[in-house]
């Protein structure tokens, strides 16, 4: 991954280039103009990127939509309490078509009809704890055993150690000292938001509700740190992960089409977010 920045009198923007997923992800921007859309499109074409993901403040969405940029989802409170509209553009038109989207939507409708109940009653011999850098190597090995590919370098222990140094929280479920499952809170401290990500359970430990237990623990850790915008991007093809988020009270907020390279290929990603807790104004 590579960070690219550009500034002129019309706008400023910071973009993350992700070669594996062949996409650009806008991480910061100031100014709303057709010139910004044009810059992003030309940058994507020059870099061989097939998709642009552009999270914008909801108040800017109408100004920034157009010229191929369309809304694919929303997240409440994403910009330090202000709501976000996820715009997307496809310099490669082929990338915008998903043959699985219809089935993904059918699965979501089925999940939406299920009760929001979570069972974590088989954890008597499981310990939940926060990871430290000494866990980076076995944690990377867990990710390698679960995913054929992943949009961030989680197979690299050094990357995981640096991620912990930045304040991201990795929570582990362990049995007899062995990591059975893991999940992470990737925190943007400036914007007071966290993506709940990197959920991985070793095949030998599936069906125990470990993802639910880890995500609940991470939610509590984030809330205690004043992080109130909590969201997750789940593989649209994963019935189990989408069901876990639904049962934990997350709300479906849209689908990012052919969003990233994970599990060996490009996949649609569903946006799930917990209802945002807005602070009361002090009178």
**Domain at 193, CATH number:** 3.40.630.30
Q: What are phi and psi of 67, to 5 degrees?
A: 55, 40
Kindly list the distances between the CA atom of residue 205 and the CA atoms of 66, 119, 173, 178, 211, in Å, as whole numbers in the listed order. Answer: 46, 15, 10, 11, 11
- Assess whether 116 and 147 both reside in one domain: yes
pLDDT for position 280? 45
> Per residue in 157-168, is it b (16+ CB within 10 Å) or e — as a string?
beebbebbeeeb
- Assess whether 105 and 171 both reside in one domain: yes
Beta pairing partners, 16: 3, 25
pLDDT for position 283? 41
Question: What is the dihedral angle through the alpha carbons of 68, 29, 153, 104, rounded to the nearest 10 degrees?
Answer: -40
Predicted TM-score of the model (pTM): 0.94
- Assess whether 90 and 107 both reside in one domain: no
- Assess whether 16 and 72 both reside in one domain: yes
Please answer whether residues 16 and 1 qualify as being in contact, where contact means their C-beta atoms are separated by less than 8 angstroms. Answer: yes
- Write down the residue that tokens 């623990």 correspond to: 217
- Domain range for 195 is 101-273
Looking at 40, 63, 96, the residue that finishes a domain is 96
- Write down the residue that tokens 């007071």 correspond to: 192
**CA–CA gap between residue 181 and residue 200 (Å, rounded):** 5
pLDDT for position 21? 95
pLDDT for position 218? 98
pLDDT for position 119? 63
**CA–CA gap between residue 68 and residue 87 (Å, rounded):** 9
Biggest alpha carbon distance in the chain? 60
- Assess whether 262 and 146 both reside in one domain: yes
CA-based end-to-end distance of the chain:
45
SS3 state of residue 138: helix
pLDDT for position 122? 61
Query: Which H or E run contains 243?
Result: helix 239-247
pLDDT for position 278? 65
- Assess whether 46 and 145 both reside in one domain: no
pLDDT for position 282? 41
> Which parts of the chain have pLDDT scores under 70?
119-122, 278-283
pLDDT in tens, 94-105: 999 999 999 999
Kindly list the distances between the CA atom of residue 40 and the CA atoms of 4, 26, 48, 49, in Å, as whole numbers in the listed order. Answer: 11, 9, 12, 10
Contacts of 135 (CB under 8 A, 6+ apart): 170, 172, 179
Q: How many domains does the chain have?
A: 2
- Assess whether 157 and 181 both reside in one domain: yes
Decide if 281 is inside a domain.
no
- Assess whether 11 and 44 both reside in one domain: yes
Length of the chain: 283
- Assess whether 86 and 121 both reside in one domain: no
pLDDT for position 277? 76
149: left (phi over 0), alpha (psi -120 to 50) or beta: beta
> What is the DSSP-derived secondary structure letter of residue 257?
E
């Amino acid at each position: 991954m590579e960070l690219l920045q550009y500034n002129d009198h019309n706008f400023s923007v910071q973009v993350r280039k992700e070669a594996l997923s062949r996409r650009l992800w806008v991480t910061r921007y100031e100014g709303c103009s057709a010139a910004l859309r044009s810059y992003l499109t030309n940058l994507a074409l020059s870099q061989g990127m097939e998709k642009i993901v552009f999270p914008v403040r909801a108040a800017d969405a109408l100004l920034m939509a157009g010229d191929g940029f369309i809304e694919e989802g929303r997240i409440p409170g994403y910009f330090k309490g202000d709501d976000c509209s996820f715009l997307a553009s496809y310099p490669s038109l082929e990338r915008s078509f998903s043959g699985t989207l219809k089935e993904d939507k059918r699965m979501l409708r089925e999940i939406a009809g299920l009760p929001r109940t979570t069972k974590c009653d088989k954890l008597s011999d499981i310990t939940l704890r926060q990871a430290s850098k000494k866990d980076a190597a076995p944690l990377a090995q867990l990710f390698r055993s679960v995913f054929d590919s992943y949009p961030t370098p989680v197979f690299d222990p050094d990357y995981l150690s640096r991620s912990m140094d930045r304040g991201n929280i990795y929570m582990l479920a362990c049995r007899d000292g062995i990591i059975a499952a893991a999940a992470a809170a990737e925190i943007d401290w400036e914007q007071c938001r966290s993506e709940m990500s990197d959920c991985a359970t070793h095949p030998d430990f599936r069906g125990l509700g470990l993802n639910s237990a880890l995500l609940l623990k991470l939610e509590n850790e984030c809330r205690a740190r004043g992080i109130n915008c909590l969201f997750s991007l789940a593989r649209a093809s994963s019935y189990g992960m989408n069901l876990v988020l639904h049962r934990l009270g997350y709300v479906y907020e849209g689908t990012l089409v052919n969003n990233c390279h994970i599990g060996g290929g490009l996949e649609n990603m569903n946006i799930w977010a917990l209802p945002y807790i807005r602070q009361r104004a002090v009178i």
